[in-house]
Amino acid sequence: MSSEKRTADDLYQEASAAYRGAIGRVARAFEMDTDKRRDLLQEIHFALWRSFETFEGRCSLLTWVYRVAHHTATAHVIREHRAKLHTLVTLEDIENTSDRTDHRRDSEQRIALERLMGLIHRLRPIDRQLMLLYLEELDGASIAEITGLSAGHVRTQIHKIKTILARRFHKGEDHE
Amino acid sequence: MNNASPNDPRHLWQAQETEKMTIQPQQIPEKIQRLHKRGRVTNAFLAAVFGLIGIYYAFQVGEAPDLLRAIGCALISLGNFYWTYLAVTAIRSSRLPVLAPDEPLRTSVQFYRQILEETFQGVRGGNRRAMRGAVAIVIGVAILIIQPKESVQNATAEVALKAFVQNLGVPLWLIAWLPFLVIVASWAALRCYGRIVSTKWITHEIERVDQMS
């Protein structure tokens, strides 16, 4: 029992050290308010620690950590922002709307990051997850494993994400 | 996509500053307890507030000058006592917002679908238990509003408005109960609208998730 406990603790420490940055970015993508974000981050860490009781290596550590982080963050969004859920949009909606921002003014990275964050916060939970996993540079197979979407669907969605990001973030570079 | 570009969204995303949180495994049980306690304190506070309001209006029932006002006070008192009971129950069975250990065995789509279904059931049920208390309180408050303790002298505007409504042929009982009906109808309409918007969105999202997977 005690060796099992140690293993779970070791796994937690290994995972939290390896994916601390990624977990922090998930929290930022799902909660704008600083105090609530700190709570969400803490919740993700608690969930991760508890989850290793049942981790049997049936999937990679990366898949496990991302699932825990995304499940916790999705539950948080549904719980905390229930009244505003209908204002969240899909990747298709974003793809079909024009971005009226003046790209010339967005040369500074900070502003570009704020715009990216604004775009992410408008997405529905499942679309947001796809966007985040793409931004974390995970390959299609890993994204399909984490989300449970078919490989074909993941390919289509990634194509949409690339189009959206290219239109909104590379246009500015072209102008300059 | 050019990965070398400093404005590449993926580069921007991964290079951003994030909150650094390090929790030692030994600290976690204690921190979870603290989180649990916070939830309990909130519910205990709510129970105390509702209980006090319930007691206050229970005393007001005895001092009411007429039957209708006594009924209003009794309804507010009952509604608050019911909410006190709900808050006390929540103290006992407060569930931590932390995921169950085996949740990561599900994929994101399965988990999202399940949470949408749970939310749908919650919205559809209109949080029935909390609603029971709210109905009593809204009706009680509406009765107290239209039954002032002391007769208020009619202002010119009020007299004129009453005369205007009577000239339209509206029965007197309807004029007397109009504020009550307006309060209850507005409240019910707002609740129904919120419920329709939420259920429609959730149903649509469940269908979309099914198509995705």
pLDDT in tens, B5-14: 667 888 888 8
Would you call B208 an interface residue with chain A, using a CB distance cutoff of 8 Å?
Answer: yes
What sign does the CA torsion over A122, A126, A131, A132 have? positive
Out of A46, A55, A82, whose CB is closest to B119?
A82
Which residues from chain A sit within 8 angstroms of residue B22, using beta carbons?
Answer: 16, 20
Classified as helix, coil or strand, A89 is: strand
Residue type, A131: M
Put simply, the chain B residues between 130 and 189 with a CB less than 8 A from any chain A CB are none
What sign does the CA torsion over B190, B193, B196, B200 have? negative
At A176 the pLDDT is 34
pLDDT in tens, B46-76: 899 999 999 999 998 888 888 888 998 999 9
Count CA atoms within 13 Å of residue A68 on its CB side. Answer: 34
Number of A to B CB contacts under 8 A, please give it.
174
- Residue B187 tokens read as 């409240």
A175 vs B7, more confident: B7
Angle made by CA atoms A80, B50, B44, in degrees to the nearest 5: 65
Cα–Cα dist B9/A164, whole Å: 11
A76 alpha-carbon distance from chain centroid: 13
Mean pLDDT score, A48-67 = 88
Mean pLDDT score, A117-128 = 92
Would you call B32 an interface residue with chain A, using a CB distance cutoff of 8 Å?
Answer: yes
Closest residue by Cα to residue A20 from B97, B26, B98, B14: B14
Closest-CA distance of chain A to residue B13, Å: 7
Nearest CA in chain A to B119: A78
Would you call B103 an interface residue with chain A, using a CB distance cutoff of 8 Å?
Answer: yes
B23/A85 CB distance under 8 A: no
pTM of the model: 0.73
Out of A24, A42, A126, whose CB is closest to B18?
A24
Q: Residues for chain B: how many in total?
A: 213
The residue ranges of DSSP E strands in A2-98, in sequence order, are none
A86/B197 CB distance under 8 A: yes
B120 alpha-carbon distance from chain centroid: 15
**Within 10 Å of residue A43's Cβ, how many Cβ atoms?**
22
Burial (Cβ within 10 Å: 0-12, 13-18, ≥19) of residue A95: middle
Which residues from chain B sit within 8 angstroms of residue A45, using beta carbons?
Answer: 21, 23, 28
Enter the ipTM: 0.80
Closest-CA distance of chain B to residue A3, Å: 14
Q: Picking from A155-159, B146-150, B191-195, which range would have the lowest pLDDT averaged per residue?
A: B146-150
Q: Is A99 left (phi over 0), alpha (psi -120 to 50) or beta?
A: beta
Out of B12, B109, B200, whose CB is closest to A113?
B12
Out of A21, A79, A147, whose CB is closest to B18?
A21
Cα–Cα dist B115/A163, whole Å: 30
Mean pLDDT score, B182-198 = 81
What sign does the CA torsion over B110, B112, B115, B121 have? negative
Closest residue by Cα to residue A103 from A161, A158, A163, A165: A165
Would you call B23 an interface residue with chain A, using a CB distance cutoff of 8 Å?
Answer: yes
